[in-house]
Structure 1
Amino acid sequence: MSSTETSARSGAPEQQTPTPTDPTARLAWRQADHDVFVATSDGEFAGFVAVERNTHVVHDSHSRRIGAYPTLAAARQALVDATRPPSRSRERLRRRILARRR
């Protein structure tokens, strides 16, 4: 019997590592200036939101514009959605659409 089996059976708390299924759900936000909010994921730059007049413009980790949104919350969610890996079903659908175009 290994020591991990013993600790699991003895009721000792197990250390769980975060699952890599959705790393974008853990974006950390910091305000870099009065009109700029920067997002990081596990210490790596993930993108930013720049406030321009009444809109919040979102850019990804390569500073490519994702879109403009009326609220900061909507802009933050757009970055999360843009950086989330595509689902398998969505990827299959994309492949079928591209195959039909050929």
Structure 2
Amino acid sequence: MIEASLTNAFLVIGASLCPLLLMVLLIGFLWAVGTAVRQSIARLQRLHSIPCDQCVYFTGCHHLKCTVHPCKALTEDAVDCLDFEPALYSKSCCSSRCKPQ
């Protein structure tokens, strides 16, 4: 008799906590997805502000991307480059000079 009432009590508690726990997990998952999307948008906006392809020193060749700062070229370190000089014309990223022959 006592065992049956304890089993019924556990079933009632489990039946009421299970949907609540699932709701908390769903809210936590949606919160994490929203946070990841916001962080991704902020990072993409930062990456789109890299000015290398509009610089005079940008070569367009994958062997030597920049003649002044080859290690910083096309990275986040190049966002505030002190040597940035705007180019008068745009360069293609796949110039015929750097293709293997």
TM-score normalized with structure 1 length: 0.23
**Which structure shows the bigger proportion of residues in helix conformation?**
2
Decide which structure has the larger Cα Rg and report it: 2
**Which structure shows the bigger proportion of residues in strand conformation?**
1
Task: Answer 1 or 2: higher relative contact order, Cα 8 Å, separation at least 6.
Answer: 2
TM-score normalized with structure 2 length: 0.24
